[in-house]
Chain A
Amino acid sequence: MTVNTVKRMIMAWFITVGLFLVSMPALANDPQAIEFEVSPKRCITLRKGQPCYAKVKFKWRSSEAVSVCVKKIDREDMKCWTSSVSGSLVLAQSLGDTTEYVLTDEEGEVLDTASISVLWSYRKKRTKRKRR
């Protein structure tokens, strides 16, 4: 290993660390910093096609105060928060199939998503085409 090679490695290290430090404030404002999760992750029915009942807990938190809403994808808002850094909600849900929930900002932009899979005990194969 030559002296020049060592110098280049040290320089590359400083550039990498520098870029990371410069990007820190930007990450703090990045909507991706918001965490959104639901539990349970899975809901079990006896057989395919049955609605699955679950008490779903929605939980989110942000590094700074935001105004957000939780809803099923393509549905009405279930609950909204104004200028908050965290929030939680428990709702009874009847799930027809695997369901996706979204956390949106005031403009309706999706900040994060979370889903609950619906599984069943009997005949676990999934339909490839609709019943005639």
Chain B
Amino acid sequence: MRRSHRTHKVLPSQLLAILFLSLLSFDAFSADISREIRAGREDETIKFDGFLELSFSGIVNKMPIPGSDELIGTIGVGGNYRYKRWFWDVHAESYNQFQIGYNFYYGEDWSLDVMGAASEHGVNSELNTELKLFTEREAATFLGFRATGYDGPYILQFEALWDYSRLHSGSLTTGSIARTWLVRNWNFHTLFSARYESANTLDYQFGVDASEANEVYPEYQANAGLTFVTEFGVTYPVNEFIVLKSTARWWELPTAVLDSPFITNDSYATFSTSINFVY
């Protein structure tokens, strides 16, 4: 009853899959700030610009989920293109895996966008081989806006999204700050994000309905809460087409989901390193 906003019955194992998705956000909350600290700010004076990126990653994760693989290898495809003020963004490592939108203002210091985004997008079976049967998952479609500020080596970003697809009718509100350092041609960065998720959003990921509950996954309802991510990364351009990346992240999940049967701890770390081919 309390998760009546769901349009279909979700099995506990599928819920676990969603949880994996929510934790498998190797870049921080906002794709753009994660991308911009590496690829840089777009040059809006160029009418059509962008890039495609093929990545081969090795990941060490300490997710607080029983059965999750600690060593993972992934192949990802991402890209970012803009035509005039319209943009299209697929970031293989980001929380919002797909974003499309329109930039309605850009200036020296600020850029404002309206956008649609897809977040949950299906189980990555490479994360946990037990989840290979659950590789299809209806994605929530979000609509919202984003403001990005630039001040020297700092990037600030605020993003507010609502579930337009009514899959869970939840919302996400994210604030991020990042800083970059250039040491010779090594690009170091740190990023801190705080994301507020509504009760519906978190419950969709961490809750268990009475109808779904069993001995392993008892009934549980999550409340709204804040997730914090701290990230350190380094990026090195080998040549025009090859980029090396390495990223370490520390996650603090909301205390509101601490008692979820899907997790054993509210904090965890991930470390990823990848070779990326950029075109």
B49 at interface by CB-CB < 8 Å: yes
* Bound form: Cα–Cα A8–B40 in Å: 68
A123:B51 contact, CB within 8 angstroms: yes
B49:A123 contact, CB within 8 angstroms: yes
With a CB–CB cut-off of 8 A, which chain A residues contact B238? 44
Question: Among residues 80 to 138 in chain B, which have CB atoms less than 8 Å away from a CB atom of chain A?
Answer: 108
B216 at interface by CB-CB < 8 Å: no
Contact of A47 among B39, B46, B236, B239 (CB under 8 A): B39
With a CB–CB cut-off of 8 A, which chain B residues contact A123? 39-40, 42-43, 46, 49-51
Query: Across the two chains, which residue of chain B brings its CB closest to A126?
Result: B46
A108 at interface by CB-CB < 8 Å: no
Q: A46-B235, A47-B39, A53-B185 are in contact. Are A121 and B241 (CB under 8 A)?
A: yes
Query: Across the two chains, which residue of chain A brings its CB closest to B183?
Result: A53
Query: CB-defined interface of B32-55 with A at 8 Å, one 1/0 digit per residue?
Result: 000000111011111001110000
B50:A129 contact, CB within 8 angstroms: no
Contact of B240 among A120, A127, A128 (CB under 8 A): A120
A51:B46 contact, CB within 8 angstroms: no
With a CB–CB cut-off of 8 A, which chain B residues contact A48? 40, 43
For residue B106, give the distance in angstroms from its CB to the closest CB of chain A.
9
B45:A122 contact, CB within 8 angstroms: no
Contact of A46 among B46, B49, B237, B241 (CB under 8 A): B237
For residue B73, give the distance in angstroms from its CB to the closest CB of chain A.
23
B182 at interface by CB-CB < 8 Å: yes
Query: CB-defined interface of A111-132 with B at 8 Å, one 1/0 digit per residue?
Result: 0000000011111110111111
Contact of B187 among A46, A119, A128 (CB under 8 A): A46
B184 at interface by CB-CB < 8 Å: yes
* Bound form: Cα–Cα A52–B45 in Å: 23
How many residues of B are in contact with the other chain, CB < 8 A?
Answer: 26
A50, A121, A123, A128 pick with most chain B CB within 10 angstroms: A121
For residue A48, give the distance in angstroms from its CB to the closest CB of chain B.
7
* Bound form: Cα–Cα A19–B44 in Å: 58
Q: A127-B46, A128-B46 are in contact. Are A119 and B38 (CB under 8 A)?
A: no
Contact of A130 among B45, B184, B236 (CB under 8 A): B45
Judged by DSSP, the binding face of A is loop
A45 at interface by CB-CB < 8 Å: yes
B243 at interface by CB-CB < 8 Å: yes
Q: State which size class the interface on A falls in.
A: 20 to 34
For residue B148, give the distance in angstroms from its CB to the closest CB of chain A.
15
With a CB–CB cut-off of 8 A, which chain B residues contact A121? 237, 239-243, 278
A49:B45 contact, CB within 8 angstroms: no
For residue B46, give the distance in angstroms from its CB to the closest CB of chain A.
5
With a CB–CB cut-off of 8 A, which chain A residues contact B237? 44-46, 120-121
* Bound form: Cα–Cα A47–B278 in Å: 12
For residue B152, give the distance in angstroms from its CB to the closest CB of chain A.
13
A47:B240 contact, CB within 8 angstroms: no
A43, A123, A132 pick with most chain B CB within 10 angstroms: A123
A125, A127, A128 pick with most chain B CB within 10 angstroms: A125
* Bound form: Cα–Cα A50–B182 in Å: 9
* Bound form: Cα–Cα A127–B41 in Å: 13
8 chain-A/chain-B pairs, Cβ below 8 angstroms: A46-B237, A119-B240, A122-B38, A122-B40, A124-B240, A129-B45, A131-B108, A132-B45
Interface residues of A (CB under 8 A from B): 43-53, 119-125, 127-132
Interface residues of B (CB under 8 A from A): 38-40, 42-46, 49-51, 108, 182, 184-185, 187, 235-243, 278
In the A-B complex, the 5 residue pairs with the closest CB atoms = A47-B40, A122-B39, A53-B184, A121-B237, A46-B237
Beyond the given pairs A121-B278, A122-B51, A125-B43, 8 more chain A to chain B contacts, judged by CB atoms under 8 angstroms and listed by A's residue number, are A45-B237, A46-B235, A47-B38, A121-B239, A122-B39, A127-B43, A127-B46, A128-B46
